[in-house]
Structure formats: structure tokens, C-alpha cells
Amino acid sequence: MSSAADGCVHLDRLAPVDPEPSADGCEECLRMGDTWLHLRICLTCGHVGCCDESRNRHATKHYRALGHPVIRSFQPGESWTWCYIDQVMA
């Protein structure tokens, strides 16, 4: 996949191997005893957080706190990525 063609240069900066997921569910929701709708994985560090449709929006909060720009769906059968900085899906 060519990230330049997708409009995101940040994909080229990621490690060539997918990070190991940090949890089987949203880390913060699990600690809080809360629920989520969909999961996202940070492609920089492997943090698993909940989507923006979920009440807590932990994936976006992770980006805002640490600046890790690219996430991927952590849902079975989905393989899309999203860059927060460039606001593009690949």
C-alpha cells in the first residue's frame, strides 16, 4: 500500500510489524468496568481503545495524549486504518 497515494505520510513511519495488542478490549474501559462499541488499535504502540461512537472515546484520547497518529480497526474482518493528523482512511 502506498501511503502517499492514500494522502497520509505517517503510515511510512510505522514499524513494519504490527504492534502486539495491549489488551483484548479497551484498556481504560476494562479498568473502569465500562463497555464499548468498537475497538481500535494504535499502530505505534499497540494500545487498544474504544471508538468515537463509544461513550468514552479512548482511542482518540490516546492520540490526543500521546500524538500517535495512526489507528486500525481492531474488529474481526475489518482492516482499515485512520490517520488523525491527515484525516484520511486507508
Q: How many domains does the chain have?
A: 1
Please list the residues that pair with 89 across neighbouring strands: 82
The beta-carbon contacts of 11-19 under 8 Å, at least 24 apart in sequence, are: 11/70, 11/81, 11/83, 11/90, 14/43, 14/44, 14/70, 18/43, 18/72, 19/43, 19/44, 19/45, 19/46
pLDDT in tens, 13-57: 666 557 788 888 999 999 999 999 999 999 999 999 999 999 999
Say what the pTM is.
0.84
The percentage of residues in the chain with a pLDDT greater than 70, rounded to a whole number, is 87
The percentage of residues in the chain with a pLDDT greater than 90, rounded to a whole number, is 64
Number of CB atoms found within 10 A of residue 19's CB: 17
The residue segments making up the domain with residue 25 are: 3-9+18-89
